[in-house]
Amino acid sequence: MISLELDERYSRQVLFRGVGPEGQRKLAASRVAVIGCGATGSALVSLLARAGVGTIRIIDRDYVEPSNLQRQSLFDEADAAESLPKAIAAARKVATFNSQIILEPQVADLTPPNIDSLLEGAQLLLDGTDNFETRYLINDFAVKNSLPWIYTAAVGSYGVTLNVLPGRSACLACIFPDPPQGTFETCETSGILNSTVNLAASIAATEALKLLVGAEPQLRRTLLSFDVWWNDRAEIAADRPRPGCRACDRHEFPHLAGEGRAHITLCGRNSVQIHERHRPVDLVQMSERLKPHGTVRHNDFVLKFWRDPYEMTLFPDGRAIIKGTTDTAVARSLYARYVGT
């Protein structure tokens, strides 16, 4: 890595007294994991990479498509045309503006069986996901391993973020003991402003920098929410764990144990993810096998198969996203018919 004394890249950040030369060295030695590289995740990756965080692991299960380009800042039309996995596309784009840092793209769905290997070595976890199931899984892992993480979400014009310092502040389960029930907004039903995404990610990235340079007294200890359209803002105290919290107090981690884990309907795409079968798939051979049944194309990272009215995206680890249904039984049936059991 180029010495900080000779490199002008971070000079304006080093001039900021909250960072300084020593803080910049700490950033260069830092290892973070960003889970989910959609709207908030791609903004987080970009901000942290430009700030000089030394190693960034990018974990995402999804691929780029045209509807992402309005708000997902690391992707372009070529990525969407090729259906590149978001983790791969993000790492490629970051490498064009900061070749000094280490990028570790992981095309994977974070689940209880793989969470230890995917998050190994990270000193801070950042939330770029789109569902509470994965956030509770991250929370269980972080609290159990005393690892800080930052919860961040955005939908419509509303954004929210929370710093979780296990044992020292409230965790996600302290604030939300149970997942939201019934109907709640998603980007599919309510849309999303890219300005909401960027504000939420900017706040979270700033908190990440504070933590990584050792400025813990400056960390915010509230759940902060805001609405950029209606000019609303609120904060809920989160400076200490809640007595009786299943994670902080009782040390119960049901999401980490995989209890009741179901298939996930992906945000905004009328899709179901199939991840119950983990086995290597040769995309070249599979492409030849599927050609008689519909339209197929593939690259090194993903295979796309269209058979009206469905679209299947198949990954080399056997995971698939079935677009055109939210019925897991239909998705399983299509997977079994065309990929196998």
3-class SS at 284?
helix
User: 27 and 162: one domain?
Assistant: yes
User: 179 and 325: one domain?
Assistant: no
Nearest to 122 by CA among 139, 101, 145: 145
> Which one has a higher pLDDT value, 36 or 271?
36
In a domain, 222, yes or no: yes
Q: What is the pTM of this model?
A: 0.89
In a domain, 333, yes or no: yes
User: 270 and 207: one domain?
Assistant: no
Q: Copy the structure tokens of residue 33.
A: 């994991």
Catalytic residues: 187
The number of helix segments (H) and strand segments (E) in the chain equals: 12, 14
**DSSP code at position 63:** B
Range of the domain at 296: 265-338
User: 80 and 193: one domain?
Assistant: yes
Confidence of residue 6 (pLDDT cuts 50, 70, 90): very low
Which pLDDT value is given to residue 1? Answer: 47
* Adjacency order of strands within the sheet including 149-155: 102-107, 55-60, 31-35, 124-127, 149-155, 158-164, 222-227, 232-237
33: left (phi over 0), alpha (psi -120 to 50) or beta: beta
Which pLDDT value is given to residue 295? Answer: 95
Which pLDDT value is given to residue 2? Answer: 45
Which pLDDT value is given to residue 116? Answer: 98
CATH code of the domain containing 69: 3.40.50.720
pLDDT tens by residue, 243-275: 999 999 999 999 999 876 665 556 557 888 887
Residue 96 pLDDT greater than 90, yes or no: yes
> What is the chain's mean pLDDT, rounded?
92
Phi, psi angle pair for 180, to nearest 5°? -55, 140
User: 65 and 107: one domain?
Assistant: yes
Nearest to 171 by CA among 251, 257, 258: 251
The tally of domains found in the chain comes to: 2
pLDDT tens by residue, 38-85: 999 999 999 999 999 999 999 999 999 999 999 999 999 999 999 999
CA distance 271 to 91: 25
User: 28 and 177: one domain?
Assistant: yes
User: 135 and 97: one domain?
Assistant: yes
In a domain, 132, yes or no: yes
3-class SS at 323?
strand
In a domain, 153, yes or no: yes
Q: Mean pLDDT throughout 95-124?
A: 96
User: 97 and 182: one domain?
Assistant: yes
Nearest to 136 by CA among 155, 105, 114, 110: 110
User: 169 and 272: one domain?
Assistant: no
CA distance 276 to 262: 10
The β-bridge relationship of strands 320-323 and 310-314 is antiparallel
Which pLDDT value is given to residue 188? Answer: 66
Give residues with Cβ within 8 angstroms of 76, minimum separation 6.
69, 93
> Which one has a higher pLDDT value, 118 or 258?
118
In a domain, 329, yes or no: yes
3-class SS at 38?
coil
Which pLDDT value is given to residue 4? Answer: 46
CATH code of the domain containing 269: 3.30.310
In a domain, 215, yes or no: yes
Residue 279 pLDDT greater than 90, yes or no: no
CA distance 46 to 201: 10
Q: ∠ CA 262-267-302 to the nearest 5 degrees?
A: 85
In a domain, 327, yes or no: yes
Which pLDDT value is given to residue 182? Answer: 54
User: 183 and 133: one domain?
Assistant: yes
User: 46 and 167: one domain?
Assistant: yes
